[in-house]
Amino acid sequence: QTGNKPGVTKGQQWLRFGNEVELLDTPGILWPKFEDPEIGKRLALTGAIKDQLIHLDDIALYGLDFFARYYPDKIALRYNLTPEEAALLAPELLMKITQKRGHKDNYDRGAELVVFDIRQGKLGRYTLDRLEELDEADDTVD
């Protein structure tokens, strides 16, 4: 059995695609504790770790903050937001999106919606790794 959720692949297995392609699927290995909480949030946002490890609303707020900072047009387009609405802080932005989607003040439902949209690619392509962060990390290693 294979899947895009952690813990589904239990052993090695070969997957064949026609006569030309073979893929060896193996269980992944993930450190039990992250030294940098940012890494855990990034993994949670993509669905690479179980949702039970980080609260879904925290994942949604992290995702909204990230997209508002680096991809504000994608948030505005997906959720039909004005530039002023797209510039709201993440908690207020989550409530605005929740209300616009007809869920009134159901904060949890809004968090589910945002995380689902990000994981399903509804906001488009994105990268969580920022070049400026990589440059800073290189400067500190000497």
11 and 77 both lie in a single domain: no
91 and 109 both lie in a single domain: yes
Q: What is the pLDDT of residues 7-20, one digit of tens each?
A: 677 778 888 888 88
Q: Which domain holds residue 26?
A: 1-30
22 and 75 both lie in a single domain: no
57 and 126 both lie in a single domain: yes
42 and 25 both lie in a single domain: no
From its phi and psi, is residue 8 left (phi > 0), alpha (psi between -120 and 50) or beta? alpha
75 and 135 both lie in a single domain: yes
Q: What is the pLDDT of residues 76-85, one digit of tens each?
A: 999 999 999 9
75 and 47 both lie in a single domain: yes
72 and 105 both lie in a single domain: yes
Q: 24 falls in which pLDDT band (50, 70, 90)?
A: confident
Q: What is the pTM of this model?
A: 0.75
Q: What is the pLDDT of residues 107-125, one digit of tens each?
A: 999 999 999 999 999 999 9
